Structure 1
Amino acid sequence: MKILVPDVPFDLAFTALLPDGGASFGPGGTDIVVAYAMKEPVPEEHVDADVLVTWSSPPRVVADAARRLTRLRWVQTLAAGPDVAVAANFAPDVVIASGRSLHDDTVAEHTLGLVLALVRRLDVSFAAQREHRWAKEITFAQEDPATAASYTLDGARVTIWGFGSIAAVLAPLLSALGAQVTGVAGTAGERHGFSVVTADDLPTLLPRTDVLISLLPATPQTRHALDAATLAFLPPHARFVNVGRGATVDEAALVDALRGGRLAGAALDVMQTEPLPADSPLWDAPGMILTPHVAGGRPRGAARFLAEQLTAWRTGGREALRNVVVR
């Protein structure tokens, strides 16, 4: 079995998969692990690969692999969201598995940072710093009983839309700061000690929401899930944070809500077009904080995860793999 792994700029220690640090793996040395340049098409001599591991490859490279690697049986992406691999149009019998769990801690940390930056109005402080101006208006707003509650997470009602493994890490962090957390997922109930409702409940939940966090994946069903109609349910003092996928947000509607004062602020780590074009209205939207898709960083524990996945594949096939994508 030939396994292609990305030649990444950070140490994923894929050689740890090999008992001798060489190129063979498994009983009798029947498996071959080959590194490929993740930003370039797979070389012709490796189109006979059985397994393709992807990380941060451009969509065109993954789509090219789907066309040319006709012997593939399994694609393992190290990204939490498998949208690029799914969109590449691999043959129906090719198993696609995501890297869910590899980014939970870092995405949760970044999300918490964005939420706190919005609530504490760090964007105003940073802008004032560049102007050499003492932003006393923040102090006045925190002292004013009419606006004081908007400057703290203590007592804030936070809704997390997309309540999966990242939310399981994030929700307790928000709760520890006094936030009242409610999740939104495909099935209602209780998860990790938090109440979870479905999207059908958004019309009654969002008007009582102070901070809305989206962890939604990019699927045909979630495209522009946050549109003008959904934004209209939020109160004007609410803030929105997106660390899921950019395609889930109608960016024009978001900018319009910020400009019209119908939303107090937003923070985006993901956008529909990345890198964000210089002429995008998102750059200058009032109350906007942007970060360049850095919430996840590198996949943590990827070598161990991949080793476990390979063992599962050998012993039980696709049924034994974690994070298999239904398509």
Structure 2
Amino acid sequence: MKILVPDVPFDLDFPSLLPDAGASFAPGGTDVVVTYAMNDPIPEEHADAEVLVTWSNPPRVLSDTARRLTGLRWVQTLSAGPDVALRSGFGPDVVISSGQSLHDDTVTEHALALILASVRRIDATLAAQREHHWAKEIAFAQADPVTGREYTLDGARVTIWGFGSIALRLAPLLTALGAQVTGVASRAGQRSGYPVVAPDGLDALLTETDLLISLLPAGPATRHVLGDRLLGLLPPTARFVNVGRGATVDEVALADALRSGRLAGAALDVMETEPLPADSPLWDVPNLILTPHVAGGRPRGAARFLAEQLTAWRDGGELRNVASR
């Protein structure tokens, strides 16, 4: 069996971690692990591969791979979401699995950084610094009894939309800062002590939300799901942070809400078009913090994760994070 692994700037020496490194993934055959350049088309000599590991491969390269590598049986992406692989045209019999959990800690840290930067108006102070302006007006606003609670997470009502593994890392940190956290997921209930509402309870929840955090994956059901109607349910003092996928947000509606003051602030690590074009209006929207899709950084523990996945694949076990097709 031939396994294609991308040339990445982190350790992917997973064969050495396999409990039976000399065993073959195919009865009577010999396993071959080949490193490929993830930004280039797969060489024709490796078009017979059965397993493909991806990282940040360009969509055009993955589409080409899906068209030419007809013998693929499994695609394992190291990204938290498999949306790019799912859109690439791999056949229905190809198993696609994601690297969910490999980015939980870094996305959690970045989400918290964006939240605090927005709530504490760090963007405004940085802009003032560039102008050599001592922005004491921020302190005066915090002292105002009417607006003071808008500058803190203490007592804030926080909604996390997409209550999976990242949310379960982030929620306790927000709780430690005094926030009241509620999740939104496909099913209502309790998760690790946090109340979770189903989608039919979202509207009522948004009307009482001070901070909305999106961890939603991309897909037909979530495209532009946060648009005019849902943004209109948030209080005008509310803030929004997106570290999920950019396609889940109607960016025109978000920009309009920020410009009109119907939303107090937002922070995005993901945009619908990446890299964000130089002429995008998002660059100049007030009260909006942008970071260039850096929350995930690199997948942590990728080698061991791949070793476990390949062992499960070889032994007929259950793969983790298999995407619905």
TM-score over 0.5 (shorter chain): yes
Q: Post-superposition shift, 1:15?
A: 5.6
Alignment partners' CA distance in 1, 2:72 and 2:250: 36
Q: 1:149-193: CA deviations, max 9, x gaps?
A: 011101000000011111010111111111000000111111121
Q: Please name the residue that 2:82 is paired with.
A: 82
2:259 corresponding residue in structure 1: 259
Percent identical pairs in the alignment equals 75
- Which residue of the other structure, out of 307, 317, 322, is the alignment partner of 1:324? 322
Question: Helix, strand or coil for the counterpart of 1:101?
Answer: coil
Partner of 2:316, secondary structure, is helix
Deviation string 1:67-118 (CA, Å, 9 cap, x unpaired) is 1111111000000100000001111111000100000000000000000000
Q: What SS does structure 2 have at the residue aligned with 1:134?
A: coil
Q: Is the 8 A contact 1:206 1:234 kept in 2?
A: yes
Show the 5 A alignment for 1:123-162: 123-162=123-162
Gaps of 5+ in 1: none
Query: Where do 1:90-129 residues align within 5 Å?
Result: 90-129=90-129
SS in 2 for 1:182: strand
After TM superposition, the structure 1 = structure 2 runs for residues 209-224 of structure 1, keeping only pairs within 5 Å, are 209-224=209-224
Task: Note the alpha carbon deviations across 1:234-273, whole angstroms, 9 max, x for none.
Answer: 0000000000000000000000000000000000000000
1:179-208 CA distances to partner (integer Å, 9 max, x unpaired)?
000000111111121100012112110111
SS of the counterpart of 1:205? helix
What is the CA–CA distance in structure 2 between the aligned matches of 1:83 and 1:290, rounded to whole Å? 22
Q: How far apart are residue 9 of structure 1 and its match?
A: 2.2
Moved over 6 A (4+): none
CA contact (8 A) 2:189 2:195 kept: yes
Whole-angstrom distance in 1 between the partners of 2:15 and 2:278: 40
Alignment correspondent of 1:13: 13
Q: Determine if contact 2:18/2:308 at 8 Å carries over to the other structure.
A: no
Gaps of 5+ in 2: none
2-side partners of 1:90 and 1:139: how far apart? 55
Matches within 5 A, 1:31-110: 31-110=31-110
Q: Distance in 2 between matches of 1:77 and 1:233?
A: 36
8 Å CA contact 1:242, 1:270 repeated in 2: yes
What TM-score, normalized by structure 1, do the two folds share? 0.96
RMSD: 1.5
Report the secondary structure of 2:110's partner residue.
Answer: helix
**Alignment-derived partner of residue 296 in structure 2:** 296
C-alpha contact 2:18 2:311 (8 A) present in aligned 1:
no
1:19-43 per-residue CA deviation (whole Å, 9 max, x = no partner) reads 99xxx85248721100000111111
TM norm structure 2: 0.96
Counterpart Cα distance in 2 of 1:64 and 1:17: 31
- Counting only pairs closer than 5 Å after superposition, residues 154-193 of structure 1 correspond to structure 2 as 154-193=154-193
Distance 1:39 1:166 in 2: 28
| Aligned-residue offset at 1:16 | 3.3
Q: 1:26 aligns to what?
A: 23
> CA separation in 2, counterparts of 1:72 and 1:123?
47
Contact 2:238-2:265 within 8 A present in 1 as well: yes
Structure-1 separation of matches of 2:41 and 2:191? 41
Give the SS at the match of 1:129. Answer: helix
SS in 1 for 2:263: coil
SS in 1 for 2:283: coil
Partner of 2:315: 315
One-letter code aligned to 1:103: H
- The offset of 1:11, in angstroms, is 2.8
Distance in 1 between residues matched to 2:200 and 2:19, nearest whole Å: 51
CA–CA distance in 1 between the matches of 2:62 and 2:178? 43
Contact 1:16–1:303 under 8 Å retained in 2: no
Amino acid at match of 1:80: A
User: Deviation of residue 288 (structure 1)?
Assistant: 0.4
Q: Name 1:4's counterpart in structure 2.
A: 4
- The whole-number CA distance in structure 2 between the counterparts of 1:25 and 1:221 is 44
Is the CA contact 1:188–1:196 (under 8 Å) kept in the aligned structure 2? yes
Shift of 1:298: 0.2
- Secondary structure of 1:96 counterpart: strand
The 8 Å contact of residues 18 and 307 in structure 2, kept in 1 or not, is answered as no
- Tell me which residue corresponds to 2:282: 282
Deviation at 1:57, TM superposition (A): 0.3
